[in-house]
Amino acid sequence: MTENQMLAPAPTAEEQQQLDQLYKDFDAEHLIPLWTEIGDLMPMHPKPQAVPHVWRWNTLLPMARRAGDLVPVGRGGERRAISLANPGLGGRPYATPTLWAAIQYLGGHETAPEHRHSQNAFRFVVEGEGVWTVVNGDPVRMSRGDFLLTPGWNFHGHHNETDQPMAWIDGLDIPFVHYTDAAFFEFGTERVTDESTPDISRSERLWSNPGLRPLSGLDNTASSPIGAYRWEHTDRALREQLLLEDEGHPATVHQGHAAVRFVNPTTGGDVMPTIRAQFHRLRPGVRTPPTREVGSSVYQVFEGRGAIEVNGETHTVEKGDLVVVPSWAEWSLLAETQFDLFQFGDQPIMERLHLNRTYIEGTK
Amino acid sequence: MTENQMLAPAPTAEEQQQLDQLYKDFDAEHLIPLWTEIGDLMPMHPKPQAVPHVWRWNTLLPMARRAGDLVPVGRGGERRAISLANPGLGGRPYATPTLWAAIQYLGGHETAPEHRHSQNAFRFVVEGEGVWTVVNGDPVRMSRGDFLLTPGWNFHGHHNETDQPMAWIDGLDIPFVHYTDAAFFEFGTERVTDESTPDISRSERLWSNPGLRPLSGLDNTASSPIGAYRWEHTDRALREQLLLEDEGHPATVHQGHAAVRFVNPTTGGDVMPTIRAQFHRLRPGVRTPPTREVGSSVYQVFEGRGAIEVNGETHTVEKGDLVVVPSWAEWSLLAETQFDLFQFGDQPIMERLHLNRTYIEGTK
Amino acid sequence: MTENQMLAPAPTAEEQQQLDQLYKDFDAEHLIPLWTEIGDLMPMHPKPQAVPHVWRWNTLLPMARRAGDLVPVGRGGERRAISLANPGLGGRPYATPTLWAAIQYLGGHETAPEHRHSQNAFRFVVEGEGVWTVVNGDPVRMSRGDFLLTPGWNFHGHHNETDQPMAWIDGLDIPFVHYTDAAFFEFGTERVTDESTPDISRSERLWSNPGLRPLSGLDNTASSPIGAYRWEHTDRALREQLLLEDEGHPATVHQGHAAVRFVNPTTGGDVMPTIRAQFHRLRPGVRTPPTREVGSSVYQVFEGRGAIEVNGETHTVEKGDLVVVPSWAEWSLLAETQFDLFQFGDQPIMERLHLNRTYIEGTK
Amino acid sequence: MTENQMLAPAPTAEEQQQLDQLYKDFDAEHLIPLWTEIGDLMPMHPKPQAVPHVWRWNTLLPMARRAGDLVPVGRGGERRAISLANPGLGGRPYATPTLWAAIQYLGGHETAPEHRHSQNAFRFVVEGEGVWTVVNGDPVRMSRGDFLLTPGWNFHGHHNETDQPMAWIDGLDIPFVHYTDAAFFEFGTERVTDESTPDISRSERLWSNPGLRPLSGLDNTASSPIGAYRWEHTDRALREQLLLEDEGHPATVHQGHAAVRFVNPTTGGDVMPTIRAQFHRLRPGVRTPPTREVGSSVYQVFEGRGAIEVNGETHTVEKGDLVVVPSWAEWSLLAETQFDLFQFGDQPIMERLHLNRTYIEGTK
């Protein structure tokens, strides 16, 4: 017996027969009663089909290499990307109902051709170098620790300048955009439109100057104009938060837990309308307060060892491992060593639609 | 051969074997390659599974009556609501991927018990009277042409004051909230908390004064505080637009097409964060320009005869008939007589997430 | 000795001589030291030069009539308006540093020619009828209790359709726009562009439908598109608030004190960017809690008898009387009978620039 | 005869006598007619009393030194600041009607005591070093090229760590806050609350990381949380814009004219609600297009030689010189050498109140 169930006297045989006929007639007319569905449709609290799950970097990377040997990259398939398929989501290539997460692999001197799409995309580099992603003609170097943006409807391709392959993580809102029937796609050039390999992209030169906005860029944009958020800045920001905490000043989000959100400098808000991206650093031994929030997240360990506890189960993780935290799951981070994690999620969707809700143990 | 397909020499037998093994290994590790999925996942333009479909009032209402005879209303099933199940959506009770639309039926002197949920809800009355919906303790009369709101997390129940049954249309964002795992639900009282039957609700007395905001209500709210948008106001607004057009002044949205959006008076924006609601009146003979937009809609004819053309197919409709228009379908309204239609859709989701796009024939 | 004064040993005679020379040299170079000015420039709390003051309708109206006999209305002087000159503001025609308030008088069959200007303007009618103000070609009837808008840069003129003169109150941000050097002005036609005399303006027909926004007007506007806020709506809104209070529901701003703000329906915010307008109704015997706020206001009694207490002084007032309340003055309203007051002020300036601050006795 | 003047037959002697009496009676009742004032009050376009004017650094600095010898700094006078008094503003210490600009001078080992006030303040350093400004307990080093913030109601004091005096420019909205009667002031400690002399303030360590927002700072703030915008960042941003231009990419605001706005990273908007601050770099030989805008500005040359043309008059300027540009004056910058200028103005006031208007020669 489900949580929500109609309480009424059992129908007579005749009533049951009429009811059966009614349900058949509903079916013929493409109608479905609420009263038989409400327990599943409208639960007491979110009951995601997506489950918490861990993908190991040690498994992912070798498989990506095998794909590199067997599967060409080019027009048609577009990208040699292998997506995390949440075991609860019925074999769809979805990390969570809204988010796509994949390892992408590009062999030496390979090019992933240019295209553009409504879907918002980013890349995060847990190790390696040598690839430039070219966004609307602006070549952006990809290096360890960098967070790189390709907001919706920007042309982009990747090319590997070196003899060595490189792999990284892609994050997109593919499932959400698919679900909402909002997807557009357009092919671009076969090779990237600019094959130069500058250290710093033009977008960074214009926009990554703290607190300084070019007068040529006074119109706000839906997504961040910064093509790359560099590791040196992220690392310094986190280090400074912990130093400030040491000096007795408010700076960290919890004791021993430094964290930054990647933001759009034209608004101070999330980098893209559907995706939040954050970076966490925990001191050894720190455990964050158990938290639930509406919206799903994917974590990737960048450095260090620790665990993610989700719904009471502890998952020990290390560099490169990816963990999915479904909506309203109770989660906590535990650091064994200094523990650096990249996180992305769909919380901007929830906030913009006023569906967000958060519960943090020990607060009101 | 699909639109997106990897172009490469056919693999050798050995390569094919290795590839088969790789795909098996992917599967075992909950991984799915992009290159086999991209054509479906990332189409050139939206390719909704939902299909255009018409439900006839003449079919719906008798079935609702049969349900009234056979199915009690009360705690558990909560509501005697029968939802439109889009034939393209695999038997889910969804009008579109994001929207729920149902006919709700309440017999004489019946009560639908109080509850609240995250899902945003409204009701629209195409005919009948005698029911009061009680929203957070405020009894709101339901009458022909009225548009009534129950934004997320407001307690609400309905009770029928008369001997006669009444039926109306419910619209909610149930599919969207289910999909995003954002649903919360709470039971309230068995009977409505206020059984009085005022003509005008307290919410209207406070908030339905044009351009006047109570000083006790200066904080903006995510959803409209107005409980009922009355037919007399909607009708007058539409009539005045057509009269102004007759007098040679800009007022209508197209020649011969008057239209209003129901809005939240604290912001001027949509009534609820996920749902847009509008009302249209066409002069006899008018045909609106063919239009595509990202986001799905449901139309209900309120009065008059005409047609909705969707993706080249013409559906003749009359009072009470409901039509679903999926995302990016090309649609046009055609009026035979004066033609009044209520419309609701998920466009606020698209706009808030910058996924909106519109194409209107004859404009840029 | 002022509040702020340099504390230092008295200078020697030689130092004094050098100081005198320095001050002379400052003067020659257009320089002024802060240390001699700070007490006036940067006081502990606002010390307005404007003073609380009452102008009596019984005085204003006869004087306006005399002006009607002696001073023609027409191009050049533009309007037969007589402004309240705050006794503290040195003979400038300013009610407060930011606000202009005047009685305007138009004889039978007279016309005030069309013009437009940056300054935002409104009219409030305490008695009389027979004049139409024509705003961008839209004739707006002026009647007792109506609040009428002419936001910046809209052409407008007035014409009196009757044999009888009519007088009303004008409110503008003339002092503020003059002070900030933001004033533009343009002459229009000698006679109003539309001499028809409809009961209801086109702006009202389009925009004064509660919660209903025309699809032809989806772009937000800096100022309200409503040309007239009619007394019948204001009166009903206030009456309903008091009735709701009687019934035990939250509705009034204080016990026995109903109040509405006139707002822009496209945003829910103030009618114009620089001017707030509100209407108050107090039950007999009610006294509002003593309040201070940054920003200045002008009150006009619409009906009833009572008093305004400002900075400890009680001013008994009745129909038509105008009272100025300077910034940060402590004020309270006291009702002898039912007491209806119109109020306008510059608070939107303070709020938009984050200079607002409010103190209400008995609250935190 | 003014632009706006009542056109009417000359009054008879009797009428003139009655008119004279009316004007006397107006005066007695604190009333002023519009028709005699309108030409001044409501001009065709802004006619500022403030005039364009240049103050020379070579004059200012020696005078500040003399004040340093004669006038102690401390509680009462609070600051040894000498303000620019616009020659058109009748001896008030106002650079423009809304803006205060002053040279502040602090001798070796002197301290300017802590206080706070509603007025928004910044400092800009054209030369020198050795002083730390302490803002809410956070010591902020002041060095050449730095732009430093003290938004309203933050406690702040300054102390000079060295044997050498230091001078810099203060900019505040004192005239505006005085005019609008919005000023509050509070004394703090006699000495600064933290006498340490870190290279980088805590505010910078938390907030000056490009595109990175601390999770401990997710609430937007009315003013920027960054205490210091460092020259190295400003210089690099400008240099990169010119290099990008050299490389053929859009980056500069006009050909040869690089420019950045200092912004609040929580919103992307101006650093403080009432003050805009920008930095310009012109290539040698560049002349910016003649421009008019509502709102006033003060420019200070940081490096190089050139001219500012205002209302047709050319003012040759060099390092440290200050120029006032009143509202709606036509101005243009002309670079002889590479020409670096700091600028601040009141344009946020105009934009937030929808009083802004700009005219740039050669554009629409």
Q: What are the tens digits of pLDDT across the range B143-166?
A: 999 999 999 999 999 999 999 999
Residue A8: band (very low, low, confident or very high) from pLDDT cuts 50, 70, 90: low
Average pLDDT for A257-280: 98
Are C259 and B207 in contact (CB < 8 Å)? no
Number of residue pairs across A and B with CB atoms under 8 Å? Answer: 294
**C360 vs chain B: nearest CA distance in angstroms?**
15
Residue A292 has pLDDT above 90, yes or no: yes
Cβ <8 Å between C19 and D70: yes
The predicted pLDDT at position B6 comes to 46
Average pLDDT on D63-77 reads 93
Q: Which residues of B touch C (CB under 8 A)?
A: 202, 205-216, 218, 220, 224, 226, 229, 233-234, 236-237, 240-241, 243-244, 249-253, 259-268, 271, 278
Searching chain C, which residue's CA lies closest to the CA of residue D36? C77
Between CA C238 and CA C246 the distance in angstroms is: 13
Per-residue pLDDT at D2 exceeds 90: no
Å between B267 CA and nearest CA of chain C: 5
pLDDT per 10-residue tile (average), chain B, 364 residues: 49 91 96 93 97 98 96 92 97 97 97 97 97 98 98 97 97 98 97 96 98 98 98 98 98 98 98 98 98 98 98 98 98 98 98 97 78
User: Given this model, what pLDDT does residue D107 score?
Assistant: 96
User: Cβ contact (<8 Å) for B212 and C206?
Assistant: no
CA dihedral for B209, B211, B217, B221, sign (positive or negative): positive
Query: What pLDDT sits at residue C4?
Result: 39
Backbone angles phi, psi at C104, to 5 degrees: -110, 145
Which among B249, B253, B262 is the nearest to C211, CB-wise? B262
How many Å is the maximal CA-CA distance in chain B? 79
Test C78 with D4 for CB contact under 8 angstroms: yes
Q: What is the pLDDT of residues A74-96, one digit of tens each?
A: 888 999 999 999 999 999 999 99
Contact A213 D260 (CB under 8 A): yes
Q: Is C27 in a helix, a strand, or coil?
A: helix
The greatest distance separating any two alpha carbons of chain D, rounded to the nearest whole angstrom, comes to: 79
Per-residue pLDDT at A2: 38
Query: Alpha carbon of A319 to those of A49, A145, A234, A303: distances in Å?
Result: 27, 12, 17, 5
**pLDDT tens-place string over residues D263-286:** 999 999 999 999 999 999 999 999
pLDDT band at A1 (very low <50, low <70, confident <90, very high): very low
Residues of C in contact with D274 (CB under 8 A): 353, 355
Cβ within 8 Å, pair C7-D79: no
Arithmetic mean of pLDDT, A279-297: 98
Structure tokens given for A183: 């997807």
Provide mean pLDDT across the span A124-149: 98
CB B271 within 8 A of CB B343: no
Q: What per-residue string of b and e applies to A37-51 under the rule 16 or more CB within 10 Å gives b?
A: bbbebbbebbebebe
Of all residues in chain C, the one with the smallest CA distance to B255 is C216
Mutation site for A-interface testing, chosen from B70, B158, B353, B358 by largest number of A Cβ within 10 Å: B353
pLDDT > 90 fraction of chain A, expressed in percent and rounded: 94
Q: Is it the case that chain B and chain D have 3 or more CB pairs lying under 8 Å apart? A: no
| pLDDT score at B3 | 37
Chains that touch D (3 or more CB pairs under 8 A): A, C
Contacts of B216 in chain C (CB under 8 A): 241, 250-253, 259
pLDDT at B8: 57
Nearest residue to B112 (alpha-carbon basis) of B93, B130, B129, B134: B134
- Closest Cα in chain A to D228: A211
Entry pTM: 0.96
Work out the mean pLDDT of chain A and round it to a whole number: 95
CA distance A7 to chain B (A): 6
C202 and B243 in contact by Cβ < 8 A?
no
The CA distance from C165 to C68, in Å, is: 9
**Residue D132 contacts by C-beta under 8 Å, 6 or more apart in sequence?**
D139, D140, D141, D142, D158, D159, D161, D192, D195, D197
pLDDT at D8: 57
pLDDT of residue C11: 83
Cβ of A350 and B182 within 8 Å?
yes
CB contact under 8 A, C82 and D33: yes
Q: Output the pLDDT for position A158.
A: 97
pLDDT of residue B362: 83
Q: What's the gap in Å between the CA of D188 and the closest CA on chain A?
A: 21
> Residue B22: CB partners within 8 Å, gap ≥ 6?
A63, A66, A67, A70
Kindly tell me if the per-residue pLDDT of D49 is higher than 60: yes
Per-residue DSSP letter, D284: T
- Residues B97, A46: C-beta atoms closer than 8 Å: no
The pLDDT of residue C364 is 63
How many Cβ atoms from other residues are within 10 Å of residue C27's Cβ?
Answer: 12
For chain C, residues with pLDDT lower than 50 are: 1-7
- What is the DSSP annotation of C179-213? HTT---EEE--SS-S-----SS-HHHHHH-STTEE
Burial A309-320 (b: 16+ CB within 10 A, else e): bbeeeebebbeb
CA distance B159 to B161: 6
Chain C and chain D touch, per 3+ beta carbon pairs within 8 A:
yes
Q: What is the pLDDT of residue D6?
A: 46
- DSSP letters, D137-181, are TEEEEEETT-EEEE-TT--EEEEE-SSS-EEEEEEE-HHHHHHTT
How many Å lie between the alpha carbon of D297 and the closest alpha carbon of chain C?
A: 12
CB-based contact B216 C263, cutoff 8 Å: no
**Cβ separation of C213 and B263 shorter than 8 Å?**
yes
How confident is the model over C102-127, as pLDDT tens digits?
999 999 999 999 999 999 999 999 99
Q: Bridge partners of C340?
A: C281, C303
Asked if the model's pLDDT at residue A169 lies above 90, the reply is yes
Give the residue on C whose Cα is nearest the Cα of B243. C205
Count the neighbouring beta carbons within 10 Å of the beta carbon of residue A53.
19
**Residues 6 or more apart in contact with residue D17 via CB below 8 angstroms:** none
Does the beta-carbon distance from D354 to C25 stay under 8 Å? no
Cα torsion at D331, D336, D341, D347 (round to 10°)? 10
Q: Using DSSP, state whether B340 is helix, strand or coil.
A: strand
Q: In this predicted structure, what is the pLDDT of residue B364?
A: 63
Helical (H) or strand (E) element with A139: strand A138-143
Q: What is the pLDDT of residue A172?
A: 98
pLDDT of residue C8: 57
- Residue A181 to residue B295: CA distance in whole angstroms: 7
Smallest CA–CA distance from C277 into chain B, residue: B212
Task: Say whether A74 and B183 touch across the interface (CB within 8 A).
Answer: no
CB atoms < 10 A from the CB of D288, how many?
A: 22
Q: Do D8 and C45 touch (CB under 8 A)?
A: no
Contact list, A47 vs chain B (CB under 8 Å): 181
